[in-house]
């Protein structure tokens, strides 16, 4: 099984809720365009969260496959719970952005950082030799 996932794919997420682009457009007198950019950035952000969830699920399944015969149920459950809560909090940041709460970008940034830990390359699991 080959996993082609990388945290680099999600780098744009860090900027989408920042408001920098909208602020620039407003300063230039383009309020309507700024509102469109803001809504577009939010849609892209939610799309990235969906992609992140799919990638996490693929990585989680690969980790489970690596544990064949030696399951660590507690670690898998903790990993899944942590990731699901991070993803929900990332979605909450998108809603905060919609509500124009300035903390949205900081919340998103914090949880993007936490999710990056799951995209570290999978370390090979040595196969145990069984005596016959």
Per residue in 9-42, pLDDT (tens digit) is 777 888 899 999 999 999 999 999 999 999 999 9
Does residue 57 lie in a domain region?
yes
Report pLDDT digits (tens) over 59-118. 888 888 887 777 788 888 888 898 899 999 999 999 999 999 989 999 998 888 887 766
> Has residue 101 been placed in a domain?
yes
- Enter the pTM of the model: 0.79
In a domain, 4, yes or no: no
| Residue 86 covered by a domain | yes
Is residue 108 classed exposed, middle or buried when 0-12, 13-18 and 19+ CB atoms within 10 A define those classes?
buried
In a domain, 60, yes or no: yes
- 63 domain-assigned: yes
Q: For residue 76, what are the contacts with CB-CB under 8 A and spacing of at least 6? A: 60, 63, 64, 67
| Residue range(s) defining the domain that contains residue 83 | 11-118
Number of structural domains found in the chain: 1
Residue linked to tokens 């407003």 = 26
């Amino acid at each position: 099984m080959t996993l082609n996932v990388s945290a680099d794919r999600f780098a744009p997420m860090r900027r989408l809720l920042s408001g920098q682009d909208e602020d620039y457009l407003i300063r230039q007198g383009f309020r309507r365009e700024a509102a469109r950019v803001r809504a577009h950035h939010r849609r892209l952000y939610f799309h990235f969260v969906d992609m992140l969830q799919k990638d996490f699920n693929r990585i989680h399944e690969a980790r489970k496959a690596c544990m064949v015969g030696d399951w660590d149920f507690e670690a898998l459950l903790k990993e899944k719970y942590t990731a699901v809560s991070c993803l929900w909090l990332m979605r909450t940041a998108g809603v905060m952005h919609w509500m124009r709460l300035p903390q949205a970008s900081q919340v998103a940034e914090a949880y993007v950082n936490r999710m990056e830990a799951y995209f570290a390359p999978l370390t090979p699991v040595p196969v145990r030799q069984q005596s016959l």
